[in-house]
Structures are given as structure tokens and as C-alpha cells.
Amino acid sequence: MKIAVVTPPVRDMYFTPGRNSALGMHTVSSHLSRMGETVTLFNFPGDNPGGFSIPPLKETEHLTPFLIQGEKGPVSFFTGYRQFGPSFEECAARITATEPDVILISCFAFAYAEDTVELVKAIKETGCTALIGAGGGGVSAFPQYFLASGIDFAVTGESEKVIPSLLKELHRTDPDFSRVPNCYTSIHHNKIEGTVPPSYFSADSSDLEFIWSITGETKKTRYISTSLSRGCPRRCRFCSNFLTHGREFRKVPIGKIISGVTQIPTDKHTVINFEDDNLSFDPEYLFEILKIFTVHLPERSFMAENGMDYSFLDSSIVKALAKAGFRQLNLSLGTLSTVSAESEYRHLSLSKYENVLEAAEQSGIAAVTYFISGLEKDSPEAAVAALRYLHNLPTLTGISPFYPVPGLPGFTDTELFLTHSPSLCRGASFYPWNGTLSTAQLVTAFRLSRYSNLKKKGGRSETECRLIELSEREHRLYTVVRKHKGNRIIPVPHLDTAMVEMFFST
């Protein structure tokens, strides 16, 4: 059977190479190949990583006043939308040219559900009659949304438990997808209702494979991404990990990593990025993995761009990570306020966090600390207090505006996601889901974090020094725009002036 496994193009304001790893797609295709199927891979965002400019999405018009044409430099916001990957028509033509019997689409986040729907539409317009299914993190959150687009089946959860029975049905002349675990179907059931899977099926540790992919390459460096663990027993209310991976922590068997790592080329310095949500949960396992990579790749360094939970770290672990080849620690704090931490079921120990940060500084590795703005108990005052706190510590600040997906606590009513576009379920939409911070306040917090990071940057240009001077004198944020081949410093409009004043005067 010929199967096309596809990651659709993405429409967004930014797309980093790390998000291009398509590990879900590679996991599915590796499983299918091992079962003897003929697989063709299409990782469309990887085909055109720079993307092309597209008109603003009408669902995110609320952002228009905050976009400044020509804005650039270290304090800039986003300037517009791009499509990362070819046009949907070109993608459809390339997929159907391989004459697949089945097309499996990976939607890794619900925010990109409309990109999957657009691709399905374009494929159908070619007259292609292949069966089309979808899976991944986005589908796991709300499979019925995808069924409504006319696909034949939608699979939730982890693919390892699903693929064997899915293939069995796909090989039949009259497949019955209701026999496949975690499979919602529109063929034999009502399109919107689908079938309710009998129970949650997640993979056993022994089912997990070592999957990795190359996300970038220069003359001297190769960047690869992998994810070696699944699931998390913690219950932070803002986290959607459990919708796809469940609550049990599992990890790829060490033996599979030892044999799989030998496939990674050794001719360049290699940066290994762990995409795991919770790799530091088992430090013993983590250090064993680092050792395996080090033996195979003497020229390597490590990253964990999705963030490491500081609560599993201590100063000796941080020092050992630095020694092993981590050049930067991405620390996820979630929230810095006690009230929010309680309401989000999130642990918070600032003294522990500060110890971790101190150890990073002593080990000579940089730190970036992430927190979420716009949580249910957040406020403009709490957001500024968090920014000020991090501003005074040896760390850069990463801010993620809160966004829900269907199924998160407080967002289980799927009707909400039929009346609100999935595009709003991305941080870069700055949508006030909880109403605690408005869009202007979310954008203000984001811009203040950029300003704070500029203040910590070495080797600042003359323009950047002037911008800082103006901002501090006037308690107002400024930015840089390109004008007639030169740069101009202008004040940023539409910000929350009270938050800016609070930031500069405390």
C-alpha cells in the first residue's frame, strides 16, 4: 500500500527551525515502514522555512493595531503573517502525484487545525480518492473538528497502539475504523459525533522508538531534534500534554538509543535539541542519554528548547548538565505568582529556582526563563512584577501568552472552539482567553520582556543605546523601524501605559 505521511504548511507570524522537526510524522512513517508499507514523506514547512508573506488572517484582526510595518531589531514585535511551506495547491499536487492509497496528515497543534483543513480541501479538489486520516497533538484535542472537514478518520493519542489495527482495516476493501482504538470516523457514523473511543490507549515504554530529525545545517554545524520521553504525572492546568500522551511518564529504552544513535552522522559539530516536555523528570535517565550521545558525537552540545522544569533540577544537576555540553538552560516557570500557582496546580519555589539560576551562572551557561501571561488569576500588576523580578536576575525572559486547546480544564466545552477560530489557540494571537489581561496588556508584557532582554545584551549598537536612553527617560517603550534605507526610533503605540510606567518606576 502506498501511504503519504504529511505535515501541512503552517500559517503564522513566526516559525522557528526547532518547530520544523516533525517528530510525530517521522514516528508514524518509521512505524509504517517497519510494517512493510511504502511511505512517502512530505514535511512542507521544512521545504520553505523562510515562508512567503500572506494577507492578515481575519480571525486575528484584533492584532492589527499592534503591528508596525518595517519594525525590526531586538525589541520588535511581529510584523505580519507568513505561510511556511508551499501553497496548499502545490502541496496537494505533490502529494497526489505519488498516487497514494492513503494520506495521513500530522497536525501537531490545534492552533494549526485550519491549515490541515485547507490542505484536505486542496487534495479533494484534485479529485484524489485516497482515504485521508489525521492525527497528532492538534487532532487529539478535538478530533470531531477535523472530521467535519471531510476526512475519513481522525486518530487521537499515541500512534504506536493505533497503527497495527489501523493498517489491518486499511488493507480491507471495506474498512471499519470503529474497530481501531482511539479512531474517530465519519464513514460509518455521524460526522460531528464520531465514535467515542472505548478507552485511552497510550504506548508502553517498550513500544517507543528513538526518532530524530535534522532541523538545520550550516557548513560547520548540524542541528537535530529528538524526543525521548512521553507523558507527565503532574497536572498543571494550562498544559495540554496529557491530551495526547496521558499521565504516565515513559521513556525510550536505552538499548534503542545506543543502536539508533550510530545513524547520526559525525562529520560536523552537532547540536542536539530535546523536545521533551519533561526530560528532567528522570535525571538518571537524562545523564545516561547524554553519555550515549557524547560517546558517539565527541563534537556536540545540547539544548532543551521546550524548557526544563526547574523543580527537578538542583545545583549539582545544573553543573553536570553544563559539563555534559549544555550551553544554555531554558527554564520553564509557568507562573511566578503564588495565587496563579495555586489556581493552576503548578509548583512554585522561587528559592529553588534562584539556586538553579545561580548554578547556571557559576557554570558559565546562559539561562532563559519562561512564564505564561494571561492565566486565570493573572493581572497586569502580577505580570509586571514577574517581569521586574526576572529583569533583576541573570536570565533572559521568555513570555508565552496563555492559549487553551479543547479539553483543558475550564475549556472542555468544545462549542467554544466551533465559535472561536483555532488560530486564536496560539500564543502569538495574544487573545485574552481568560479576560485577565487584554490583548494590549498581553502585547505590552511581551514588549517589556523584549526590552528587558535588550538591557542585558552585550555589544549594543548606537541605535539600541539611544532607544534605551529614551525609554528610561520617558518611561515609554520605543522601537526601531526601517525608513528610506535607514533606521528610525519611534514610540510604540497602543500599549498599556500604566503597565509600562509600573515597569520603569519600580
Point out which span in 189-197, 227-235, 372-380, 422-430 binds ligand SF4 (CB under 6 A).
227-235
Only segment of 139-147, 231-239, 351-359, 455-463 that touches ligand SF4 (CB under 6 A): 231-239
Residue 356 CB, shortest distance to ligand SF4, in Å, is 15
Residue 23 vs 57, nearer CB to ligand SF4? 23
Cα–Cα distance between 411 and 195 in angstroms, integer? 21
Strand partners, 225: 213, 273
b/e map 475-487, b = 16+ CB within 10 Å: eebbbbbeeeeeb
Which of 13, 39, 109, 236 touches ligand SF4 by CB under 6 A?
Answer: 236
Beta carbons within 8 Å of 69's beta carbon, 6+ residues apart:
79, 481
> What's the closest the beta carbon of residue 242 comes to ligand SF4, in angstroms?
7
Residue 75 or 375 having the CB closest to ligand SF4: 375
In terms of C-beta distances under 8 Å and separation of at least 24 residues, what long-range contacts does 352-359 make, across chains too? 352/310, 352/311, 352/314, 353/310, 354/393, 355/314, 355/315, 356/310, 356/313, 356/314, 356/315, 356/318, 356/329, 356/331, 357/331, 357/393, 357/394, 357/395, 358/315, 359/314, 359/315, 359/316, 359/318, 359/319
Amino acid present at 486: G
Using the Cα atoms of residue 167, residue 171, residue 177 and residue 180 in order, give the sign of their dihedral. negative
* Sites for ligand SF4 among residues 167-196 (CB under 6 A): none
By the rule CB under 6 A, 341 interacts with ligand SF4: no
CB 234, min distance to ligand SF4, A: 4
Q: What is the DSSP letter of 113?
A: H
Residues 6+ apart with CB under 8 A from 256: 208, 209, 210
In the complex with ligand SF4, the residue whose CB is nearer, 40 or 241, is 241
Alpha-carbon Rg of the chain, whole angstroms? 23
> What whole-number distance in Å separates Cα of residue 457 and Cα of residue 479?
16
Select from 62, 189, 234, 420 the one that contacts ligand SF4 (CB under 6 A).
234
462, burial (CB in 10 Å: exposed 0-12, middle 13-18, buried 19+): exposed
- Segment interacting with ligand SF4 (CB under 6 A) among 5-13, 233-241, 375-383, 412-420: 233-241
Show the site string, 272-311: x = touches ligand SF4 by CB under 6 A, - = not: -----xx------------------------------x--
What cell numbers appear for 412 in the block?
A: 472542555
CB of 276 to ligand SF4, least distance (A): 9
Nearest partner of 123 among 147, 156, 90, 78, judged by Cα: 90
Q: Which residues, in sequence order, are CB contacts of 493 under 8 Å at separation 6+?
A: 65, 68
The size of the interface with ligand SF4 (CB under 6 A), counted in residues, is 9
Question: 215 and 227 in contact (C-beta within 8 Å)?
Answer: no
**Grid cell in block for residue 383:** 505580570
Closest to ligand SF4 by CB, 63 vs 208, is 208
Whichever of 234 and 268 has its CB closer to ligand SF4, that residue is 234
Q: CB 332 → ligand SF4: shortest distance, Å? A: 7
Give Cα 4 to chain centroid, integer Å: 24
Report the nearest approach of ligand SF4 to the CB of residue 361 (Å): 24
For ligand SF4, the closer of residues 65 and 233 by Cβ is: 233
* Alpha carbons 132 and 150: distance in angstroms, whole number: 9
- Binding mask 413-442 toward ligand SF4 (x if CB under 6 A, else -) reads ------------------------------
Give the residue with the Cβ less far from ligand SF4, 114 or 309: 309
Out of 25, 107, 109, 232, point to the residue binding ligand SF4 (CB under 6 A): 232
Cβ at position 340, least distance to ligand SF4 in Å: 13
Q: Site map for ligand SF4, 237-276, x if CB under 6 A?
A: --x-x-----------------------------------
Distance in Å, CB of 347 to ligand SF4, minimum: 8
Nearer to ligand SF4, 5 or 399 (CB): 399
Q: Which is nearer to ligand SF4, 18 or 409 (CB)?
A: 409
Nearer to ligand SF4, 37 or 276 (CB): 276
Q: Which is nearer to ligand SF4, 231 or 325 (CB)?
A: 231
CB of 194 to ligand SF4, least distance (A): 27
| Strand partners of residue 226 | 212, 274
Q: What is the 3-state secondary structure (H, E, C) of 361-419?
A: HHCCCEEEEEEEECCCCCCHHHHHHHHHHHHCCCCEEEEEECCCCCCCCCCCCCCHHHH
Q: Smallest distance from the beta carbon of 233 to ligand SF4, in angstroms?
A: 7
Comparing CB distances to ligand SF4, the nearer of 88 and 281 is 281
Q: Which residues bind ligand SF4 (CB under 6 A)?
A: 232, 234-236, 239, 241, 277-278, 309
